[in-house]
Amino acid sequence: MKKILFAASEAVPFVKTGGLADVVGSLPKYFDKKKYDVRIILPKYACMEEKFKKQLKYVSHFYVELGWRKQYAGILEALVDDIHYYFIDNEFYFAGDKPYGEIYQDVEKFAFFSKAVIEAVKRIRFVPDIIHCNDWQTGLIPVFLKNVYHKQEEYKKIRTIFSIHNIRFQGRWMIPTVKDITGLPDKLFTADCLETYGESNYLKGGIVSADAVTTVSKSYAMEIMTPEGGEGLDGVLRQHSYKLFGILNGLDYEEFNPQKDKYIPYNFDSQTVFEEKAKNKAILQEKMGLPVKKDVFLVGMVSRMSDQKGFDLVDYMLDEILYHENIQLVVLGTGEDRYENMFRHFAGKYPDKMAANVGYSEEMAHLIYAGADAFLMPSLFEPCGLSQLMSLRYGTVPMVRETGGLKDTVEPYNKYEGTGTGFSFANYNAHEMAAMLRTAMEVYYKEAKEWKDLMLRGMQQDYSWISSVSEYELLYQSVGEIMD
């Protein structure tokens, strides 16, 4: 039995700000239980919902040395769907109303978390074969293991995998402060390990020190090795390309299942999608305060409002599109003020065509996936993207930019061959996005049969975890073997 410990800063159902939580909270469920014991370790944030906090049981506590500091670390535990979740408790670091704060706080918070995870494995009596780390918040785990804990008996054999879900966020901060926080030796703050551009960089530390590095789609794995996509780390990744693998995310098909989804008023499958989606659509329109119309092209967006998601293109074209086209747009999201205000503005200007729900709602998100005709995701970059996978599963036709995981999962419609699952455009250009939208509308309004076929082809795709899990299993094996 191989023991794997997933270390991450968020995971469903306990805490979620984006797709990382979906991945960490679902992937572990799908490993072969006869061969793998996969567990998860997270911070215990004060902002976690009360109902989740109540489930946690005290296991143990200890103190973590961070430079000259000695900090309390409690360990709590919960069991969900037969998966063990552990939590590191510290009311100073994990206070606040959100998981993430200012970067200068977060670099200390996640240095503490990373060291606490390593120390915790002895106390929970689960010394794993592999710690599977995720994003910069856990980047110091491989660094500590390889350089500080490597001589200790319990830790000698632990291997690490480092998964990059978004290379934009790197955990960069001033070297003297990070030396002080971590107590790591001076020799690690060079270009061979933690240093980039004169700063300390947790993501780079993770890449350099881990036994293998993965990212969440094959296209993104290529993109991050280029100057355009590497966010300054493309050289580091090219240097470590021998251990870099692109493994596509899957979707939790139990959670995102239109037949059983408890958030949607009318459940459906590919037999009933046409009638039932129409009913969900009417409810969506009503809840969003739009005129309830059957035959208007209803586009949904559910997203963090960040420039990553292509909102600058939307901003550029939205007035023109809403003015001229027979379209409705529903948007759910929170994030940067400039985008929230842009959507509020257009919702005010075109109340019959546009509705903005500035907030976070699991229920509304599912209703949009179930009730919209099409889903717009014109991302500037997209490591994988889960929203387009949810759309496909719910018979909502994705309209995406060909980047990262979007390119790998949405096959553009080909009217001559009757193939494809969505619409796409190549360059980050607002007019190309508008042209794609108009092409989609042409099909929707004029080729009803073709549109229905597109929906069905999308629903038939399999983006469950099944195939990706076997890729991870192979990787776990090879990482173990190389080192044994």
Segment interacting with ligand GLC, rule: CB under 6 A, options 277-285, 366-374, 376-384, 466-474: 376-384
Q: Is 430 in the site for ligand ADP (CB under 6 A)?
A: no
Residue 280 near which of ligand ADP, ligand GLC, none (CB within 5-8 Å, type-dependent): none
Q: Select the residue interacting with ligand GLC from 132, 159, 165, 277 (CB under 6 A).
A: 165
Distance CA 132, CA 141 (A): 10
- Six token digits for residue 259: 């037949």
Distance CA 48, CA 44 (A): 7
Q: How far is CA 378 from CA 133, 227, 393, 454, in A?
A: 29, 21, 19, 19
Shortest CB 310 distance to ligand ADP, Å: 12
Which of residues 309 and 353 has its CB atom nearest to ligand ADP in the complex?
309
Distance CA 401, CA 403 (A): 6
Beta partners for residue 244, in sequence order: 213
Distance CA 176, CA 170 (A): 17
Q: Is 362 in the site for ligand ADP (CB under 6 A)?
A: yes
Tell me how crowded residue 266 is: count the other CB atoms within 10 A of its CB: 18
Tell me how crowded residue 419 is: count the other CB atoms within 10 A of its CB: 13
Query: If you write DSSP's letter for every residue of 114-146 in order, what string do you get?
Result: HHHHHHHHHHTT---SEEEEESGGGTHHHHHHH
Distance CA 396, CA 258 (A): 11
Q: Select the residue interacting with ligand GLC from 2, 3, 12, 18 (CB under 6 A).
A: 18
Shortest CB 393 distance to ligand GLC, Å: 15
Shortest CB 442 distance to ligand ADP, Å: 27
Distance CA 432, CA 426 (A): 8
Q: Is 19 in the site for ligand GLC (CB under 6 A)?
A: yes
Which of residues 108 and 340 has its CB atom nearest to ligand ADP in the complex?
340
Residue 71 near which of ligand GLC, ligand ADP, none (CB within 5-8 Å, type-dependent): none
Q: What sections of 240-386 are H helices per DSSP?
A: 273-287, 311-324, 337-349, 362-371
Shortest CB 18 distance to ligand GLC, Å: 4
* CB contact at 8 A, 273 and 279: no
Q: Which residues are CB-contacts of 295 (< 8 A; sequence separation ≥ 6)?
A: none
Query: What are φ and ψ of residue 280, in 5° steps?
Result: -65, -35
Q: Is 209 in the site for ligand GLC (CB under 6 A)?
A: no
Shortest CB 9 distance to ligand ADP, Å: 12
Q: Is 360 in the site for ligand ADP (CB under 6 A)?
A: yes
Three-class DSSP category at 255: coil
Segment interacting with ligand ADP, rule: CB under 6 A, options 68-76, 222-230, 285-293, 326-334: 326-334
How many Cα atoms sit within 13 Å of 6 on the Cβ side? 27
Which of residues 208 and 372 has its CB atom nearest to ligand ADP in the complex?
372
> Looking at residue 416, what DSSP letter applies?
T
Residue 43 near which of ligand GLC, ligand ADP, none (CB within 5-8 Å, type-dependent): none
Q: Select the residue interacting with ligand GLC from 11, 15, 116, 384 (CB under 6 A).
A: 384
Residue 361 near which of ligand GLC, ligand ADP, none (CB within 5-8 Å, type-dependent): ligand ADP
Q: Which residues are CB-contacts of 153 (< 8 A; sequence separation ≥ 6)?
A: none
Could you tell me how many residues of this chain bind ligand ADP (CB under 6 A)? Answer: 18
Shortest CB 403 distance to ligand GLC, Å: 10
Angle at 200 between CA 197 and CA 203, to 5 degrees: 95
Q: Select the residue interacting with ligand ADP from 28, 74, 246, 385 (CB under 6 A).
A: 385
Q: What is the CA radius of gyration of the chain?
A: 23
Site for ligand GLC in 166-185 (CB under 6 A): 166
Which of residues 74 and 385 has its CB atom nearest to ligand GLC in the complex?
385
Residue 216 near which of ligand GLC, ligand ADP, none (CB within 5-8 Å, type-dependent): ligand GLC
Q: Select the residue interacting with ligand ADP from 60, 196, 257, 334 (CB under 6 A).
A: 334
Which residue number has the CB closest to ligand ADP? 19
Closest CA to 222 of 244, 249, 205: 244
Q: Select the residue interacting with ligand GLC from 382, 397, 399, 458 (CB under 6 A).
A: 382
Closest CA to 299 of 363, 375, 364: 375
* CB contact at 8 A, 8 and 136: no
Could you tell me how many residues of this chain bind ligand GLC (CB under 6 A)? Answer: 14
Distance CA 228, CA 275 (A): 44
- Six token digits for residue 303: 């997203």
Site for ligand GLC in 333-362 (CB under 6 A): none
Shortest CB 210 distance to ligand ADP, Å: 21
Residue 303 near which of ligand GLC, ligand ADP, none (CB within 5-8 Å, type-dependent): ligand ADP
Site string for ligand ADP, 1-40 (x = CB under 6 A): -----------------xxx-x------------------
Site for ligand ADP in 264-323 (CB under 6 A): 302-304
User: What is the binding site for ligand GLC (CB under 6 A)?
Assistant: 18-20, 23, 165-166, 216, 249, 382-386, 405
